[in-house]
Amino acid sequence: MRVFGALSDDSLAQSVKPGGYTLGWVAAHLTNSILGIPAHAGLVAPPAGGTLATVAEIVSAYEHNTKLVADAVQEKWSNEQLGEEVPAFGQSFRRGAILGLLVAHQAHHRGEMMVLMHQAGLKVPGVYGPSADDKTTK
């Protein structure tokens, strides 16, 4: 949420190169995939789609979607069931591996977002400790 909170509506148009994915596209992709990946394993319904055009819309949808997934995991998948295999992406995965894939996917695209944020001139917040932007010089 710190990364999403550091975005500005103007920054959503930032792309790594002309015609490349924009910061807004990556943020919306993360927001939708938080449902999309677990939906492949039958945990939640797939994302409804639609356009997320502002930071406020992205943040609201991300908060909503993460709560849906967290609640569904608690209600539907016990610790014992995390080792059970379920069909997903045309293959068979352990439920726990689906959740691991979800975390890795989020981290991967969050890293892309942080690079685009630097290019857009935004201050990048720390995620696994302070970022270079968080550090103060004496």
Task: Dump pLDDT digits (tens) for 9-40.
Answer: 999 999 989 999 999 999 999 999 999 999 99
Q: How far is CA 133 from CA 6, 127, 130, in A?
A: 12, 11, 8
Confidence of residue 138 (pLDDT cuts 50, 70, 90): very low
Q: Is there a contact between 74 and 105 (Cβ–Cβ < 8 Å)? A: no
pLDDT number for residue 59: 97
In a domain? residue 130: no
Total-model pTM: 0.89
In a domain? residue 134: no
In a domain? residue 125: no
Could you tell me the CATH number of the domain that includes residue 78? 1.20.120.450
pLDDT at 136 over 70: no
User: Into how many domains does the chain fold?
Assistant: 1
Q: Which of 16, 5, 48, 33 is nearest to 102 (CA)?
A: 33
Neighbours of 72 (CB within 10 A): 17
Distance of CA 126 to the CA centre of its chain: 16
pLDDT at 137 over 50: no
